Amino acid sequence: MEKAFFDQDNNDNSLDRVDGRLKVTGAATYAAEYQLPNVTHAVLVTSTIAKGRITSLDSKLAEQAPGVLAVISHVNSPGVPAYGSSPAMPQRATLGTPLRVFHDNLIYFSGQPVAVIVADTWQRAEFAASLVKVQYEKEPHQTNLEANLSRAALPANVQRDKNSRYHDYDRGNPEELNTAAVKIEATYKIPTEHHNPLEPHAIIAHWEAPDKLTLYDKTQVIKGTQGNLARAFKLPLENVKVQAKFIGGAFGSGIRVWPHVMAATLAAKKVQRPVKLVLPRELMFTSVGSRPETIQHITMGATKDGKLTTITHEAVAHTSTYEEHTERTILATRMLYDCPHVSTRYRLVNLDVNTPTWMRGPGEVTGVYALESAMDELAYALQMDPLELRRRNHADSDPEKNLPWSSKSLKECYAKGAAHFGWHKRNPEPRSMRQGQMLVGYGMASSTFGVHRNYAKSRAVFQADGKVIVQSATSDIGPGTGTAMTRIAADTLSLSPAFIRFDLGESTLPDAPGQTGSTTVSSVGSAVKVACEALKQKLLQLAVNTPNSTLYNTNPADLSVEQGRIFKTGNPATGVTYTEILKQNNLPQLEVTEESKPGAEWQKYSMSAFGAHFVEVHVNPTTGEVRVKRVVTCAGVGKVINHKTARSQSIGGVVGGIGMALTEESVMDHRFGRYVTGDFANYHVPVHVDIPPIDVFFIDEHDPHVNPVGAKGLGEIAIVGVAAAVANAVFQATGKRIRDLPITPDKLI
Ligand code: MOS
C-alpha cells in the first residue's frame, strides 16, 4: 500500500497530522468530553409512531425518579423564540420548517424527540426516560418510496426558483433515442443510508448567563450553528459561542442544526445548568439525516462505434413531509460525457420520515452510480471495452455550460489507473476469469465532483518568539484540515511548518464556511494563503523600512525569503530573520486579517474534479459473497496540499464506496415506519477485513483558475463512482447485473 503512494510522481514531503498525537493519546477533547462543573445529563424520549399526535404525555413517575431535574416536552417547553415565526431558521437548500422540537404535539416520524429528561447522571436520566408514558392518536403513515412514486413531484423549492438547476433539463432532442443504433435502459436503486461516524453526535449546552449561550457541539458548521442559535433564541451573535475543536467523523451529518441540539439547549435553559446530550447509536438513524433513498431510470443511445447520442436520466428521491432536501443527483449526467441529446428530471416524494441530508459526495455519488453503471451496460451492448467507451465520449469542454474546463485530467486518470491496475489483462466476457473457485471481475467507473468555494477569513499573527498563529473558524471532521492549513501557511511564509500553529473549531475565530462540499481548502485555504502572503509582505516592508536593518531601502522585489530569513536575492549573507525585524521595531507581534472569496472566474470556466476507480472483485459462486480484492483510484484534484492526508481521504472515500456497494442499507419496517437497522450489528459498514489494498494516485494538476491555492477539493470525489466500479466488476465476474444496492449475497445466487 505504501509503495503506490511513494511511486507517485509527486515528491513526498508530507506532514504528519499536526493533531495526530493528541488524537492517538486521547488528549483531543471531543464535544461530550468537556468537563464542565455542575454538568447534567440528558436523554431523549422518542416517538414510537410515524405519524399522528400526542394525546397525553405523563411524566409524573419520571419526575419523581431519583436525580431527575426536569422532564421537558411540548407540555412545558420554555420555547424557542423563533419557533413562533415560520419558517424558523431557514437553511440552505431546504424548503419548509425544520422540526421544531417540543413545539406542539404533532408527530412527523418515528424516532422524533417528544421529551427530554435531565438528571444528575446519565444512568438516572436513562431510567427516568423509561418511565415517561406517551399516548398517541395514530394516523396512517407513508414510508415506502416505491409505493408512493405516483406522488413524485418537482420540489416546491425548485418551482419557486427559476434559476434552480433542478428544473427539467433538455439539451438537443432526446427523442433521438428512438433512432439510436444501440440502446440500453435500466432502473437503479439506492436504499436510504445513514452516516455512521465513530463518534456519535453529542452536545453540551451551557447558558453562562440568561442571554449567553455556549455550545460544545459536534458540528461541521461552526459559524452557521452560532448564527442559527442566535436567531432562534434572539440573541446577539456574539452572545453565542460554539466550540468544535475535534470531530470524530461526520460525512455530512453535522451540517445542520438538528432537533437534539435545540433539545439540549432548551433543557439547559430550564435547569440553568450545563446539559450534556449524547445520541445513542440508534438515534443516529433518526436524528441527523440520511442519504435519501433513490430510484433512478436511465436510457442511453449510441452509434455503433460507441459515440453517445442520447442520455435520459430521471431521479426520484425521498424527503420528509416538513422539509425538502434536494441534491445534485442528476447534474453530473449533463457534463460528464460529450453527448448531444440529454434530458434530466428530478423529483421528490415526501414520506413520514425525518429529513434526509447531505452524505459524503451528496447527489453526485447517487447519480454517478446510475450513470456509470449504465455506461458499463452500454459498453456490453456495444461489445466495447468500458474504458474505451468512456474515452470516446470524453467531454473536452463542459457540454452543459458551454464553458472550457478550468483544468481536467480525466484522460490521464484513465491512463494511469488502467496501467497501474493492469486493465489490459481483463477478459470482458462475464464469468471468464477465475482464481480457484472464485469468479474474478474487473470493473471501472469515472468520478466527478464540482469545485465549490465560499467566503472565508483568516488571521495570521507573527509572534516575537518566531511562531505564527493562523486562525479561522473552520472545523475538521477528519480530513486533516489543521495539517493542510499548516502546510499552506508554512509554504506561503517560507517557514518550517514547526513554527506554525493553526487554530480552528471556535466561533470566536475569523469567519469560515462550514466544512462541507469539499470546500475547506479552496475557501479557508485561500484565506490562509492571502493572510500569510499579506503578513509576509508586511514583514518585507518592515525590513526595508527599518534604518538599522541590512536590507534598509532595498526594493522588496529584490528580496527572497527562506526559512524565515529575508535576504537580497542571490546574497544570503545580507539576511535578517522575521524575528529580528520585529525586535528591531520593538513590535511584540505583527498581525493581519484577510478575506478571500470567489470572483468572476466562475463565469469563465467550468470547474470540476475528475477521476477514475478500478476495482477487482472475487465472487464466491456458491455463497454469492463478494470480496473486493484491490482498488486503484486516481483523481485530478488540482494541487494536492499534503499527500499523506490526501491519500488517507481517498482511502476513506473508497471504503465508503465499498460499503455503499456491498453492505450499507437502512431497512425500514413499513408496518411501523421505523428503521430496524439502528446499530452496527444490523447496519453494516465495512471493517478492516472487508478492505483490500487501495492504491491512490493523483495527477499533478496546475489550475490557476479555481482559487489562490489551486486545490479543487478531494473529500467527496473520493467516494463518487466507487459503487459503480464495484457493481461493474461484479457483473463481469458473474454475468449478473445488480441494479439495487447493496449487492448482498442473496442477490447473486
Ligand atoms: Mo459533506 S456531505 O458536504 O460533509
What average pLDDT does range 437-450 have in this prediction?
Answer: 98
Give the residue from 388, 415, 442 where a domain finishes.
388
Name the amino acid, one letter, at 436. G
Q: Are residues 543 and 682 in the same domain?
A: no
Spatial contact of 233 and 82, defined as CB atoms under 8 Å apart: yes
* Least confident among 19-28, 172-181, 496-505, 509-518: 172-181
Ligand 1 centre distance from Cα of residue 657 (Å) = 15
pLDDT in tens, 534-576: 999 999 999 999 998 899 999 999 999 999 999 999 998 989 9
CA of 254, closest atom in ligand 1: 4
Residue 189 belongs to some domain of the structure: no
User: Does residue 157 register a pLDDT over 60?
Assistant: yes
CA of 516, closest atom in ligand 1: 3
As a residue count, the chain comes to 749
Pocket test for ligand 1, best of 219, 716, 720 (most atoms within 8 A of CB): 716
What is the ipTM, given to two decimal places?
0.98
Query: Could you tell me if the CB of 399 is within 6 A of ligand 1?
Result: no
Assess whether 601 carries a catalytic annotation: no
Q: Are residues 57 and 153 in the same domain?
A: no
Residue 630 belongs to some domain of the structure: yes
Spatial contact of 699 and 10, defined as CB atoms under 8 Å apart: no
Residue 746, classed as helix, strand or coil, is helix
Pocket test for ligand 1, best of 516, 519, 720 (most atoms within 8 A of CB): 516
Ligand 1 centre distance from Cα of residue 222 (Å) = 14
Q: Are residues 560 and 698 in the same domain?
A: no
Give the residue from 388, 413, 444 where a domain finishes.
388
Pocket test for ligand 1, best of 255, 327, 524 (most atoms within 8 A of CB): 255
Residues with Cβ within 8 Å of residue 152, at least 6 apart in sequence: 316, 347, 348, 349
Ligand 1 centre distance from Cα of residue 519 (Å) = 9
Number of H helices, E strands in the chain: 18, 29
Q: What is the CATH number of the domain that holds 216?
A: 3.90.1170.50
Query: Could you tell me if the CB of 653 is within 6 A of ligand 1?
Result: no
Query: Could you tell me if the CB of 360 is within 6 A of ligand 1?
Result: yes
Ligand 1 centre distance from Cα of residue 462 (Å) = 33
Cα 534–chain centre separation: 31
Pocket test for ligand 1, best of 358, 365, 366, 720 (most atoms within 8 A of CB): 358
Residue 258 belongs to some domain of the structure: yes
Whether cis (ω within 30° of 0) applies to the bond prior to 87 is yes
User: Does residue 91 register a pLDDT over 80?
Assistant: no
Of 323, 580, 594, 716, which residue is the catalytic one?
716
Residue nearest to atom 4 of ligand 1 (CA): 252
Query: Could you tell me if the CB of 359 is within 6 A of ligand 1?
Result: yes
Residue 290 belongs to some domain of the structure: no
Spatial contact of 299 and 688, defined as CB atoms under 8 Å apart: no
Q: Are residues 576 and 631 in the same domain?
A: no
Ligand 1 centre distance from Cα of residue 250 (Å) = 8
Print the domain residue range for 48.
34-140+198-249+254-285
Name the amino acid, one letter, at 716. E
H helix or E strand, kind and range, residue 592:
strand 589-596
Kindly list the distances between the CA atom of residue 583 and the CA atoms of 375, 422, 464, 549, 567, in Å, as whole numbers in the listed order: 65, 60, 7, 11, 17
Q: Are residues 655 and 742 in the same domain?
A: yes
pLDDT in tens, 167-215: 999 999 988 989 999 999 999 999 999 999 999 999 999 999 999 999 9
Q: Minimal CA–CA distance to 406: which of 68, 108, 703? A: 703
Residue 349 belongs to some domain of the structure: yes
- Identify any residues that bridge with 185 across adjacent strands, giving them in sequence order: 299
What average pLDDT does range 234-254 have in this prediction?
Answer: 97
Name the amino acid, one letter, at 442. Y
Query: Could you tell me if the CB of 517 is within 6 A of ligand 1?
Result: yes
pLDDT in tens, 392-426: 999 999 999 999 999 999 999 999 999 999 999 99
What average pLDDT does range 242-269 have in this prediction?
Answer: 96
Spatial contact of 728 and 614, defined as CB atoms under 8 Å apart: no
Query: Could you tell me if the CB of 254 is within 6 A of ligand 1?
Result: no
Ligand 1 centre distance from Cα of residue 278 (Å) = 21
CA of 361, closest atom in ligand 1: 2
Count of structural domains within the chain:
4
Residue 708 belongs to some domain of the structure: yes
Residue 393 belongs to some domain of the structure: no
Q: Are residues 236 and 205 in the same domain?
A: yes
Burial of 404 (0-12, 13-18, 19+ CB in 10 A): middle
Spatial contact of 298 and 309, defined as CB atoms under 8 Å apart: no
Ligand 1 centre distance from Cα of residue 534 (Å) = 31
Give the residue from 597, 631, 646 where a domain finishes.
597
Instruction: Give residue 83's pLDDT.
Output: 79
Q: Are residues 573 and 716 in the same domain?
A: no
Q: Are residues 324 and 460 in the same domain?
A: no
Burial of 474 (0-12, 13-18, 19+ CB in 10 A): buried
Instruction: Give residue 13's pLDDT.
Output: 80
Q: Are residues 67 and 167 in the same domain?
A: no
Query: Could you tell me if the CB of 516 is within 6 A of ligand 1?
Result: yes
Residue 186 belongs to some domain of the structure: no
Q: What is the CATH number of the domain that holds 427?
A: 3.30.365.10
Ligand 1 centre distance from Cα of residue 292 (Å) = 14
Strand pairing class (626-636; 694-698): parallel
pLDDT band per the 50, 70, 90 thresholds, residue 95: low
CA of 517, closest atom in ligand 1: 3
Q: Are residues 593 and 606 in the same domain?
A: no
How open is the CA angle 496-502-507, to the nearest 5 degrees?
170
Alpha-carbon span 421 to 633, nearest angstrom: 9
Query: Could you tell me if the CB of 358 is within 6 A of ligand 1?
Result: yes
Q: Are residues 605 and 673 in the same domain?
A: yes
* SS3 of 332-387: HHHCCECCCEEEEEEEEEEECCCCCCCCCCCCHHHHHHHHHHHHHHHHHHHCCCHH
Q: Are residues 345 and 482 in the same domain?
A: no
Instruction: Give residue 611's pLDDT.
Output: 98
Q: Which three cell numbers stand for residue 377?
A: 451496460
